[in-house]
A and B are shown apart, each in its own frame.
Chain A
Amino acid sequence: MKPASFDFLCPDTLEEALAALAEGGGEARVIAGGQSLVPMLNMRLARPGLLVDIMRLEALRRIETSGEEITVGAGVRQAELEAWTNLSRDLPLLAAAFPWLGHVQTRARGTVCGSVAHADPSAELPLSLVTLGGAVSLRSRKQKRKVKADDFFIGMMATDLAEGEMIEAVHFPKARPGSGYAFREIGRRHGDFAIVACAAVADDKGLRLGIAGVDDRPRVFALPALNDDQFDDALNDIAWSLNARDDIHASARYRRELVRNLGRETLKEASRCRA
């Protein structure tokens, strides 16, 4: 379990990193915390020709608040955001999600944007980003663009990221007063990949439920009010619409039941938090 050989670049400037990514094309990959990429390298599932380490780029290591948005740079480790002073005030959904996110050890190394770039369909951070209606800033040597999170995640470990492009930051909308947030998850063990994870938002626009672990990417749905006759029907149809599959950890049926049960509980909790 040793990686195939690759070149390793640890640039001091973003320009240098972007130039290397542009030249490397499909052979170049960004490495940040390495919590997903390094096991893949060691198993030779991934064989990039060039790794560009972005952790020395100070400009990417910031958490910034501007207006209604929290911007988390590509070099911010999960543990740093978890420990951010304003987390429970400004990003209560993330505060609720962090305990589910891997382990202390993986959070100490893994980055927020790395998890978004990896686009694991069970991952908590992509789910939170999509549920909150966040966005992803992408950067290449030639251009900068900002993509809505829901458009960024395309499928199983597949994103809108193009060759030569890297995530510069992700943007989480700041919590608004009078909104409620909740996060719940069922996994086999503490810290495991979610069988089903639910993120819920209750605000003046209504109820939104994000679901990870079932479809190939995190999905978010608007729901009628909890006391509405249509609520259970809507949740049931959502459960059926997610293309749930059997695997060695859980049946498709089990996943659908969790979407119904856990989804309802998470929405209830978010509504209670709002009150």
Chain B
Amino acid sequence: MKSLETAGGLIGRTVERVEDAGLLTGRGRYIDDLPVRRDTAHLAILRSPHGHAEIRAINTSAASALPGVSAVLTGDDVGRLTRSMTVGVKANVECWPIARDRVRYVGEPVALVVAENRYVAEDALDLIEVEYETLAAIVDPEKALATDAPVLHPSLGTNLINERSFRYGDPEAAFATADHRIAIRIAYPRNSCTPIETYGVIAEYDPGEDAYDVTANFQGPFSIHAVISRALNVPGNRMRLRTPPDSGGSFGIKQGVFPYVILAAVAARVAGRPVKWIEDRLEHLTASVSATNRVTTLEAAVAADGRITALCWDQLEDCGAHLRAPEPATLYRMHGNMTGAYAIENVAIRNRVVLTNKTPTGLNRGFGGPQVYFALERLVHKIADELGLDRLQVIRRNLVPADAFPYRTATGGLLDSGDYQTAIDRACAEGGLDALRLRRDQARAEGRLYGIGYATVVEPSVSNMGYITTVLTPEERAKAGPKNGAQSVATVAIDPLGSITVKVASVPQGQGHRTVLAQVVAERLGLPLEAVRVNTELDTARDAWSIASGNYASRFAAAVAGAAALAADRIRERLAAIAASQLNVTADRIDFKAGKLFDRDNPDNAISFGRVAAASHWAPGTLPDGTGQTIRETVFWTPEQLEAPTATDGINSSLCHGFIFDICGAEIDRTTGQVRIDRYVTMHDCGRILHPGMVDGQVRGGFAQAIGAALYEEYAYGGDGSFLTGTLADYLIPTVMETPEPLILHHETPSPFTPLGAKGVGEGNCMSTPVCIANAVADALGVEDIRLPLSPSQVSEWLYGEERPPSKPQDSTPVATGASGERLLTGSGSADVVATRESVWTMLLDPNTLKAIIPGAHEVRKVSDTHFRAEVTLGIGPVKGRYHADIRLSDMVAPQAVTLSGGTEGALGSGRGTGRVTLTETATGTRIDYRYEAAIGGKVASVGGRLLDGAARVVIGQFFQALARHAGGGGPPSAAAGFTQRLLSLFRRRR
């Protein structure tokens, strides 16, 4: 592709963003701002409190009867009107947007309520009774492979949903003859990028045409449109999907709104009115999507000088409870560049995809890159250390040579352009590496912990829509037909007054696409920026689009802006012909500048742009013969380099490959374990830069999110599948206070494959920065097994030696991890009461006493002598909830000891526990000793984890306080004021 000449000089300049005036003055139009039909109802979703459970029964009658409720739907109702969503691999498994007979992750939809407003809808959720039978949950991807592991999908018979092995070159020979074999094992955690705006859907169903009309803040890829249409059982033209004008951010996440498009559409159909749903933050954190967590073992065959001759990848990908489209794409997006920036000819790969009781994964900024580069760049660091070589030298020794581009990688990728050596040299010089090394040496001389890390990354952009078919075997692919390419589309239109409208299907999420497109088209047509207006709302019923449309894989600058340039050029060519006929010159002499078309050799021979541009509208008969209209031109462009996977599994998974080299200087506080980024240098080659300000904004944004991944963010799960980070007080996103200022450098080598020479740039730091920081921390501490996020507590484990013991023995640690991996609360206590052992014993077995002493009990029913059911309201401070409790007595040794075990279930969550109570005679009465273990899940575990242990202790303490009071241990009840406190002093722990 020839590089097109620039004329007006708009491209490459940091012009003011056309989006900003509206956004900065509160005039953005986000999905929740859009007008809706006035009979629109609101949807709320009942979600699973359990990581894994069978649904025994759902009773929706009370919810349906609540005034204001129009419809209540269960999984079966949805199932009757839809089909299972398409799964991207060959496997006997269904994938529904709502649980059918089983829940498989905390937050999985279980029932839908449509009501006149969200308040009533949530009131109705509280009235739905679901009977669950909990199953053992599995959250660890490696344990999910064990033969005795609980299986999520019985039809599949295993949690391993896909496995493929690949071989490129001759890895066995390379390993056999290598001087060294060096390996590293990485467990990359689960995290996410977190947009301010959550998911939103407005759905409507027209029974007359059997057609759905949905507005959703979906971001693409529009291949998902096919998944939605199929699931809703309508042809694509009866599934109209529109996107709002503005977006409150996505970073990939908004792709995951599509199961809710299906749910809201069905709910609208059943309710017979439009339905609106705006996801709340708890729903978003718990159940939107996240990146995959992955366990990787990577081994390299290495020559004595540090040259890597082969890589052997073993990747175990955890996609959560369902393999939702387009997964397992996270695992395959990097397939063409599994050798990173290095010329490594022999590669073996084993890819396994496993399902666990966690939220299904999806698109996320960096998509597959952070996982791959964390392993690769930690390994390169380790190779240098083990061979006693300089780390930078090992990197340099393995780079793809500057004269080798376009370079075909072992796995089939085609690296379009680059000069990695020069980019690194410049980063070291302009980034002040020598000074940084001195700084490190000086800090170390003072006994401080200081390290320097590097990361070298190839950033893919413009995905090949065929890369995901690499997960199929060549035979399966042959049967299914080839998939490849990446259609991008742009329309340039001229109205009767000669002004320009550009329309694309890029669905921007805040990046500034409208500004860049105006720059590109205005420059092509010799117009000022203001003459071009850009519309980026997408309507599948009216606009030009294809499966590759949307905002993902950093495709905008390379593909979409390129398509707009091509469309503008076609119009320009015709305008030149029209002007030439009017100015009596040949078309090749026509130039465009300052709103005029003129003879290059005689600039006074000119005509206004508006006059030429309007001709197609007002006087089509005056157009020269053979010159087409200039009213509207739509260009579809797909790069030829994006071929389908080859018979030997070679795949050029992306069109463009940018380059990043990062340097991080980090210091660790010996006392607190806090990591401080002292200096960060990030060198980018993203081809030709269209708008420097936006490129730097992309780098900064990716860098901030990478700081989160490296130091703060993790979607944490308990061993029982409970989700532990349901608020932004537990899922910690860095703020401006935590985000240092990086030094951003650029080295431009234009891509020969894209119309403008540009490449993607938005995701690179999500790939390079986590491992660069990890390498710096490894350098500072001399630790190999670096696990993210690097919380101070985690880091301090490498710093602190043996702990100083107390001067006198302590109780056992109150929190332990149970055999099943559950997060258990344990505790113990005792009290002396002035009653005989027998009378205390009798109380424990009497429902009336139990009613009096179980905190908040409304009703206690005796099922048998050893089995009770109760309705209780439990509360700590303002937090209160109503629960069903089931209590059993066992291991009874009258009147000395009894085990109480049971469970509670309620809107706020569920709990299970056992407590052993022993009674001992004392001089004044009886001493009650108790010891308990409890596990708590559901909403309280998601949002109140920090307070939960203490809260559970208070509730359990209340039970025994009440027992003591009932037995006469607390003295006569007096004014409530000091009473609780006296009781508590009675229950102070014994040392």
> Measuring CB to CB, which residues of chain A are less than 8 angstroms from any residue of chain B?
1-5, 29, 36-37, 39-40, 43-48, 118-122, 145, 151, 154-158, 160, 162-163, 165, 186, 188-193, 195, 216, 233, 236-237, 240-241, 243, 245-254, 256-258, 260-262
Tell whether B282 is near chain A: CB-to-CB under 8 Å.
yes
B112 to chain A, nearest CB (A): 16
Residue of B nearest to A103 (CB): B735
Contact A240-B810, Cβ < 8 Å, known A40-B878, A43-B943, A45-B940: yes
Contact A157-B947, Cβ < 8 Å, known A44-B122, A47-B880, A189-B712: yes
Partner of B877, one of A119, A151, A237, A261: A119
A145 to B791, Cβ gap below 8 A? no
| Contact indicator per residue, chain B 860-885, by CB within 8 Å of chain A (1) or not (0) | 00000000000000001111110000
| Contact indicator per residue, chain B 945-956, by CB within 8 Å of chain A (1) or not (0) | 111011101100
Contact A248-B945, Cβ < 8 Å, known A118-B877, A156-B954: yes
List, sorted by A's number, 18 A–B pairs whose CB atoms are closer than 8 Å: A1-B282, A2-B118, A4-B123, A44-B126, A46-B879, A154-B980, A156-B954, A157-B878, A160-B981, A165-B977, A186-B672, A186-B792, A188-B732, A189-B737, A240-B806, A243-B814, A250-B792, A261-B671
A252 to B815, Cβ gap below 8 A? yes
Contact A258-B807, Cβ < 8 Å, known A156-B954, A248-B725, A249-B791: no
B878 to A37, Cβ gap below 8 A? yes
Within 8 A of A (CB), among B729-768: 729-730, 732, 734-735, 737-738
B793 to A45, Cβ gap below 8 A? no
**Complex Cα spacing A260 to B813, Å:** 18
A253 to B800, Cβ gap below 8 A? yes
Contact A236-B945, Cβ < 8 Å, known A43-B939, A47-B880, A192-B729: no
Partner of A245, one of B714, B815, B984: B815
Within 8 A of A (CB), among B672-728: 672-674, 712, 714, 716, 724-725, 727
A155 to B949, Cβ gap below 8 A? no
**Complex Cα spacing A252 to B813, Å:** 9
**Complex Cα spacing A86 to B945, Å:** 38
Partner of B981, one of A5, A151, A237, A240: A151
Known: A156-B951, A160-B981. 20 other contacts (CB 8 A): A3-B119, A43-B939, A45-B943, A47-B880, A145-B977, A154-B981, A156-B877, A156-B953, A156-B954, A158-B954, A160-B978, A160-B980, A186-B674, A189-B712, A195-B793, A247-B945, A250-B791, A252-B813, A257-B796, A261-B672
Partner of B976, one of A36, A163, A253: A163
Residue of A nearest to B672 (CB): A186
Residue of A nearest to B978 (CB): A160
Residue of B nearest to A240 (CB): B806
Contact A216-B803, Cβ < 8 Å, known A145-B977, A193-B946: no
A211 to chain B, nearest CB (A): 15
**Complex Cα spacing A4 to B118, Å:** 11
Partner of A5, one of B123, B793, B881, B939: B123
Instruction: Tell which of A47, A163, A190, A251 has the most Cβ of chain B within 10 Å.
Output: A47
Contacts between chains A and B (CB distance < 8 A), count? 170
B732 to A192, Cβ gap below 8 A? yes
A46 to B122, Cβ gap below 8 A? no
Tell whether B804 is near chain A: CB-to-CB under 8 Å.
yes
**Complex Cα spacing A29 to B712, Å:** 35
Tell whether B531 is near chain A: CB-to-CB under 8 Å.
no
Which residues of chain A have C-beta atoms less than 8 A from B793's C-beta?
195, 249-251, 254
Which residues of chain A have C-beta atoms less than 8 A from B735's C-beta?
189-191
> Measuring CB to CB, which residues of chain B are less than 8 angstroms from any residue of chain A?
118-119, 122-123, 126, 280-283, 671-674, 712, 714, 716, 724-725, 727, 729-730, 732, 734-735, 737-738, 791-793, 796-797, 800, 803-804, 806-808, 810, 813-815, 876-881, 907-908, 939-940, 943-947, 949-951, 953-954, 957, 975-978, 980-981, 984, 989
Which are the 4 A-B pairs with shortest beta-carbon distances? A156-B950, A157-B877, A240-B806, A1-B280
**Complex Cα spacing A1 to B45, Å:** 11
Residue of B nearest to A235 (CB): B804
Partner of B803, one of A40, A44, A256: A256
A101 to chain B, nearest CB (A): 15
Which residues of chain A have C-beta atoms less than 8 A from B725's C-beta?
248
Residue of B nearest to A37 (CB): B878
**Complex Cα spacing A120 to B118, Å:** 30
A185 to chain B, nearest CB (A): 11
B811 to chain A, nearest CB (A): 8
**Complex Cα spacing A38 to B325, Å:** 37
**Complex Cα spacing A210 to B306, Å:** 55
Which residues of chain B have C-beta atoms less than 8 A from A251's C-beta?
793, 797
B18 to chain A, nearest CB (A): 31
Residue of B nearest to A233 (CB): B807
Which residues of chain A have C-beta atoms less than 8 A from B806's C-beta?
236-237, 240-241
Which residues of chain A have C-beta atoms less than 8 A from B118's C-beta?
2
**Complex Cα spacing A39 to B727, Å:** 10
A107 to chain B, nearest CB (A): 15
B880 to chain A, nearest CB (A): 6
B123 to A189, Cβ gap below 8 A? no
B976 to A188, Cβ gap below 8 A? no
B718 to chain A, nearest CB (A): 9
A248 to B730, Cβ gap below 8 A? yes
**Complex Cα spacing A39 to B674, Å:** 30
A160 to B810, Cβ gap below 8 A? no
Which residues of chain A have C-beta atoms less than 8 A from B804's C-beta?
236, 260
**Complex Cα spacing A274 to B981, Å:** 35
**Complex Cα spacing A162 to B980, Å:** 9
Partner of B881, one of A45, A163, A236, A257: A45
B766 to chain A, nearest CB (A): 19
B791 to A155, Cβ gap below 8 A? no
**Complex Cα spacing A171 to B540, Å:** 65
**Complex Cα spacing A195 to B946, Å:** 10
**Complex Cα spacing A256 to B810, Å:** 13
**Complex Cα spacing A47 to B878, Å:** 8
B724 to A158, Cβ gap below 8 A? no
B980 to A1, Cβ gap below 8 A? no
A154 to B984, Cβ gap below 8 A? yes
B878 to A48, Cβ gap below 8 A? yes
Residue of B nearest to A3 (CB): B119
Which residues of chain B have C-beta atoms less than 8 A from A151's C-beta?
981
Which residues of chain B have C-beta atoms less than 8 A from A2's C-beta?
118-119, 122
**Complex Cα spacing A252 to B796, Å:** 12
Partner of B946, one of A1, A145, A249: A249
B981 to A157, Cβ gap below 8 A? no
A254 to B792, Cβ gap below 8 A? yes
**Complex Cα spacing A23 to B118, Å:** 30
**Complex Cα spacing A245 to B950, Å:** 9
**Complex Cα spacing A142 to B944, Å:** 35
A44 to B791, Cβ gap below 8 A? no
**Complex Cα spacing A243 to B825, Å:** 13
A158 to B877, Cβ gap below 8 A? yes
Partner of B954, one of A155, A247, A252: A155
Partner of B119, one of A5, A47, A188: A5
A255 to chain B, nearest CB (A): 8
**Complex Cα spacing A254 to B876, Å:** 27
A245 to B878, Cβ gap below 8 A? no
Contact A248-B792, Cβ < 8 Å, known A46-B879, A156-B954, A236-B806: no
A216 to B950, Cβ gap below 8 A? yes
Contact A45-B878, Cβ < 8 Å, known A155-B953, A155-B954, A248-B716: yes
Which residues of chain A have C-beta atoms less than 8 A from B714's C-beta?
248
